[in-house]
Amino acid sequence: MPQTVETTTATTELTIVAEQAQLPAESQRNLLDSFQPHYQAACELIEKARNITVTDATQLTEMKQARTIRLALKDVRVSVDKARKSLKEESLRTGKAIDGMANVLKYMIEPAENRLDEMEKFAERAQADRKAKLQSSRLELLAPFNIDSSFYDLANMPESTFATLLDTTRLAHESRIAAAKKAEEDRIAAEQARIEEEKRVRAENAKLQREAEEQAKALAAERAKVEADRKAADDAARAEREAIERKAEAARKEAEATARAEREALQKKAAEERERLEAAAAIERRERERLQAEAKAKADTEARVKRDAEAAKKKAAKAPDKIKLLAFAAMLRVIELPSLSTDEGQEMIASLVADLYRLADRVTMQANHL
């Protein structure tokens, strides 16, 4: 009985669509004849679909029936669409009527078709939901270990395989943490050793610097003493030479006066003067020998100072740059310069000594800034 009602209702709806299109009676009959079989087939299938309900994944028979009816409805829908396309070509008004009738069928079929599709794929969706939840739970278990899980199919991975992966990942994570802790402890130990070594090197450098400064002071004091002795010897020699020259000049003048006044006694007095001059020459020779001995002693002292400076230079060569520069400054202060006899030469030597001392002071000042 319901099937008759639905068929009559569907036929009435198709008739209304045909009449609204203002088609000729023959065209209306042709359209109704074309779509009426589809109406009847759709009504029968939809009626069968109402009796199918799937609520559990084990209802395989019902799901199979849902698929069969859905495919049958799909065939009806496809046949309707083909009929629509064929009939629509007759005219625009006929096409409108065809579209209207096809839509009536479409609106009837699609809800039932969609419902049957949902029931057909119930187990598939349930399986997808279960896998999604499994994937989420396994990701949550792996999250603390910072692992890139994009390479693993966690949803389909067997439980034993996942358990092995979880244990392996946890052990690897713990190993990384332990290695990082050990590396940090080694770094701290190495840093402490470096600090201790730097303290030792600074103390050793300070000691070497103090020794170099003390050596430089001793060398400066020794050179100052040598310079004072040399200056005193030069002053004494110059004074002696000037005294001899004055005596000679006085003797010459006295001889000339005596020669003019007493020509007769010239030979006798000349002989006496020659004897006196020879004696003076002997005195001058002894004085020259004394000065040479003092110069040799001074040369020996300067050689000893030079040897000490060379020794300090060799020791400083093994020291840092600052100590080397300080030793070089000390060496500048004890450089041996030639002894010149003229006043101009002595002034030049004094100027060079001053220049060397200024250079030594400059080297010392720059070394102290290292």
**What's the CA gap between 111 and 77, in Å, rounded?**
12
Supply the pLDDT for residue 309.
67
What are 238's two structure tokens?
Answer: 């110059």
Count CB neighbours of 147 within 10 A: 18
Q: How far apart are CA 231 and CA 258, in angstroms?
A: 40
**How far apart are alpha carbons 19 and 363 in whole angstroms?**
120
Global pTM reads 0.29
Residues of the chain with pLDDT under 50: 1-10
CA–CA separation, 112 and 256 (whole Å): 164
Nearest to 49 by CA among 75, 76, 67: 67
**Distance of alpha carbon 88 from alpha carbon 124, whole angstroms:** 40
> How is residue 337 written in tokens?
């310069």
Given this model, what pLDDT does residue 3 score? Answer: 41
Q: Between vectors from CA 131 to CA 129 and to CA 135, what angle results, nearest 5°?
A: 115
Confidence (pLDDT) at 11: 58
**pLDDT given at position 1:** 35
- Mind listing the pLDDT tens digit for each residue in 223-250? 788 778 778 877 876 887 788 778 767 7
